[in-house]
């Protein structure tokens, strides 16, 4: 479950003084705002690594902003071959090893590196303490570190490095309650601001004769059942979205509730328990930064999952009711 920008070079003698003065007065919240908007304003082409547990994945990302809309292509460079095309509407995943393509609609504004921050960064301060660290080099670019520390143990902390010139997020560490790095994204090479050609965003596979799994367009259909809800939430979390989803790889409709504190996101999936489909998932499980909790409620399998501590998914999962 899971998976950057540019503007510069005027006349140096005219901008060195003013820029230095402006940056000297910038706060941690100013930097968070720059990171939040940078991904919406810049083209970039780069390679980043994603480290979780003892695994390291390398990805190439090509991102284009044109006429106010974004489109990007991600290509795995090691491990299982896969390629993802994302636009404002769909996420298309090509899996050559399985000879299949999965298409899902972007019903939520999910955040992926390097766009991990919420649109409204002010909500972050209710659940986190934010401050500035030192400048460091990331992918040869001077970057400012911003730390985001949780106010309790129901969310992880973050260390974020923003490109000095564009504000683009170049590196992110996820920190657990023991102050250990449990997940890391980091650009190793990036070209910010270059023109992106249309062919740079085309998939490397045609997908002909492959199995295509397409999520139906549920616009105006599948009214969500508001009788499902969590009665107890950690402080700062709130319900941000509730919808029905038809899983593209399974002939089944599930209820999907999304809870967030503005930065961390927890998903609750609710599906009817069908006999012959194996034992229901109960209790806690986890892999790296991702924790999950399963339980049965009113004849339905309830699965709570998110990049949050185990206590968070357990608290939410144990409070799910059907009224």
d(CA 240, CA 18): 41
Which pLDDT band holds residue 230 (cuts at 50, 70, 90)?
very high
> Taking 70 as the threshold, does the pLDDT of residue 23 lie above it?
no
Which pLDDT band holds residue 14 (cuts at 50, 70, 90)?
very low
> Taking 70 as the threshold, does the pLDDT of residue 110 lie above it?
no
pLDDT recorded at residue 214: 84
Domain chopping of the chain, boundaries:
12-201, 216-322
Q: Pick 222 or 102 by higher pLDDT.
A: 102
- Compute the mean pLDDT over every residue in the chain, rounded to the nearest whole number: 85
Which pLDDT band holds residue 310 (cuts at 50, 70, 90)?
very high
pLDDT recorded at residue 231: 97
d(CA 253, CA 270): 9
Could you tell me where the beta strands, DSSP code E, fall in the chain? 44-52, 55-66, 69-76, 83-86, 90-95, 100-105, 128-138, 141-150, 157-163, 169-175, 181-192, 211-214, 228-230, 238-247, 252-260, 265-272, 283-287, 290-297, 300-306, 320-322
The CATH superfamily label for domain 216-322 reads: MucB/RseB, C-terminal domain (3.30.200.100)
- Exposure string of 3-17, with b = 16+ CB inside 10 Å and e = fewer, is bbbbeeeeeeeeeee
pLDDT tens digits, 279-300: 888 999 998 899 999 999 999 9
What stretches of the chain show up as alpha helix (H) in DSSP? Answer: 12-24, 28-38, 310-318
Domain covering 12-201, topology: outer membrane lipoprotein receptor (LolB), chain A (2.50.20)
> Taking 60 as the threshold, does the pLDDT of residue 7 lie above it?
no
pLDDT recorded at residue 270: 95
pLDDT tens digits, 242-293: 988 876 656 678 899 999 998 899 999 999 887 666 688 899 999 889 999 9
């Amino acid at each position: 479950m899971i998976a950057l920008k540019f503007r510069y070079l005027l006349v140096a003698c005219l901008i060195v003084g003013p820029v230095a003065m402006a940056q000297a007065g910038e706060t941690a919240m100013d930097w968070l705002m720059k990171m939040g908007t940078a991904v919406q304003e810049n083209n970039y082409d780069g390679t980043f690594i994603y480290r979780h547990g003892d695994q390291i994945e390398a990805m190439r990302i090509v991102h284009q902003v044109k006429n106010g809309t974004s489109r990007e292509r991600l290509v795995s460079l090691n491990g299982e071959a896969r390629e993802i095309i994302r636009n404002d509407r769909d996420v298309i995943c090509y899996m050559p090893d399985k000879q299949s393509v999965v298409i899902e609609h972007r019903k939520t504004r999910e955040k992926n590196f390097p766009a991990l921050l919420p649109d409204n960064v002010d909500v972050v301060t209710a659940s986190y303490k934010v401050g500035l660290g030192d400048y460091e080099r990331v992918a040869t670019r001077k970057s400012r570190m911003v730390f985001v520390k949780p106010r309790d143990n129901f969310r992880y902390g973050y260390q974020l490095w923003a490109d000095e010139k564009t504000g683009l997020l170049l590196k992110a560490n996820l920190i657990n309650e023991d102050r250990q790095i449990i997940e890391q994204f980091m650009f190793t090479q990036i070209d910010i601001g270059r023109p992106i050609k249309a062919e740079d965003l085309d998939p490397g596979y045609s997908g002909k004769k492959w199995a295509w799994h397409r999520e139906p367009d549920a616009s105006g259909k599948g009214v969500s059942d508001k009788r499902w809800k969590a009665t107890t939430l950690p402080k700062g979390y709130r319900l941000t979205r509730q919808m029905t989803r038809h899983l593209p790889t399974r002939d089944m409709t599930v209820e999907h509730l999304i809870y967030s504190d503005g930065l961390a996101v927890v998903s609750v999936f609710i599906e009817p328990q069908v006999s012959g489909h194996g034992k229901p998932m109960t209790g806690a499980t986890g892999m790296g930064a991702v924790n999950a909790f399963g339980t049965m409620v009113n004849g339905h399998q309830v699965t709570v999952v998110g990049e949050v501590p185990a206590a968070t998914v357990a608290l939410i999962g144990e409070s799910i009711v059907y009224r």
